A and B are shown apart, each in its own frame.
Chain A
Amino acid sequence: MSPEIILALIKPLLVLGLLLTNTIILIWLERKVVAGMQSRVGPDRAGPFGILQTLADAIKLLLKEQILPMKADKAMYLLAPIIALVPSFLIFMIIPLGPGFELTIGQESQFINMVGADINVGVLFFLAVSSLAVYSVVLAGWSSGSKYPLLGGVRASAQMISYEAAMGLSLVPVILYSGSMSMSKIVESQSGYLSSPIPIVDSIIGFIPNWNIFPQFLAFGIFFIASIAEVNRAPFDLVEAEQELVGGFHTEYSGFRFAMFFLAEYINMFNMCAITATFFLGGWLGPTFAGVLPPFLSAIMPTIWLGVKTFGLLFVYFWIRATLPRLRYDQLMELGWKRLIPLSIIWLMISSIVLGIREFGLPWS
């Protein structure tokens, strides 16, 4: 077998293992963080600091009976959890986890790209696949043959369409600024430090890394809000508002099928944070301490930096969930259509004018 085929077989398996393990840690972390913010203890029985709690929950869900509601549309009911899980794995495949490196075994030498698939329109791939994720929620809601899930499904489709538009529009200035739609090129364009033609300003901002978050701060804000809404997290979790809709779209699901929805939600959350870090916080860029640390450690430093940034953003997600109350439905729609979308269009105009002046000079000169 050629090395390319072996790589193509190994990468998805690694991604699968990483994402499943990561979800277990993530759920435990969320429960602990939220518990700490609400002056509770959180899970503390299973294992040290209760870290095995999620594992116990997962085993419980796997062993439970899977109920098929009598009124359910069988094909769609069984399809919905699969549609939920597949896009979440696909999105992770395009996130660059580090710079590529040369692996030499004996005589053979092979260049290994630390991306599942480095496609030249990665940004669009992310938007396209995340728009497919809407179907899982809509279908699960509709096919359950029950009132609460249907309401959850209708809400979800409206919410996700509205915020997808804002999210896509807020990414356009970033693409213009980086000059590429490839995720790896967007990360590379953020290396180095901020600079300015004015010497005094240059000496003040010269130590700040050239991350997109500084020139594109408004795009970051819009993208961050829209991404929380896109993964249906509090304060935008109207899709599964417990007080009104019981459990929302997954009310009728039990056992392993429910676990698949749960898994997809947490993987999507992790993906969204990793993508935010890639677009705005420099991705895997960071000091590698090449001379100080042993070579093996400094080689995996980029991946560690991406992890640190991602978990920092995830902490903000948990923090927001523990702090903010849920929005009302009309407030949610108003925020999406009347605030975020116009704001992102105005920001797109401003950044294209600034970029045009920087590229071609002032129109009268």
Chain B
Amino acid sequence: MTDLTTVTARRRTTAGGPPRVAQQRRGLPHLGAVAALTPFALFLAVFLLWPMAAVVWHAITPNGVLGTSGLVRAVSGPYRSAFVNSFVLSGASAVIGGVIGLVLALVVRDLRRPAWIAPATDAFSSVASQLGGVPLAFAFIATIGTQGLLTKALSAVGIDVRSVFSLSSLAGITLVYLYFQIPMMYLVVAPAVGGLRRSWREASELLGAGPVRYWLTIAGPILAPSVLGGMVLLFINAFSAYATAYVLSSSTSLVPLQIRFVLQGNVITGEQDLGYALVTWTVVLMGVGLVVMQLLQRRAARWTAA
């Protein structure tokens, strides 16, 4: 494309003779651009930007006056605990899922013998990372809920799960979220792990580095952007998950569930502003996460075998 544009540009400056032809050639792609890009842009503007702009506008003008009282209220008092819980849940599931996903990628790479293991893990992860929502919550209720089969099997051998663990607790929801977080992390880091060349390790060993030194100075720094980027992605993924948490425990104080509560329960004007403020904080947080992720990914792309 760059070649083409420079060629036409040069022709325009040198030819000078028939400018109409050149203008037509330049005009056409512009028309094509308008036809191709406008519906898409309009669609995003109406169905995404307008509603979100309205929310942010409402949030910064509580009761019609510009001010931060709504935003402050959304992160104080009972609503602060929703943010704290959501942070703990998303953070825990991102870190645990991230570590297990990374170990899985390393293990699958090292186990080269059954040739099917890597493609099978890839395919399984692609599927499992998209499973979630209502059926997944049911599956865990059947397994380790109060009447779950694993719960009863364990109590038969004298381990009472119910006294220490509940699916509606943060630990319980984390356990369920790992079901899609681990495969998601695997998909993100597998290319980076595959990009670690065997020759780098051999070279470092020849130069006298032990495994610790190799991981600290070579493999670690190369994997770090992918791993951190993957964890940010998992964080966003968990923070915005709704259906699973709703089914497991609609009463736990999590940000998405609080938004629903405010939206459904109260039509009083002040409460509605509160909902807008909660959404604004969520979107700001997710946006920051997205930017961090993009920056990390750009760094990671340098070493990934694409």
A and B associate: no
Residues of chain A touching chain B, judged by Cβ–Cβ distance below 8 Å, are none
- Residues of B at under 8 Å CB distance from A? none
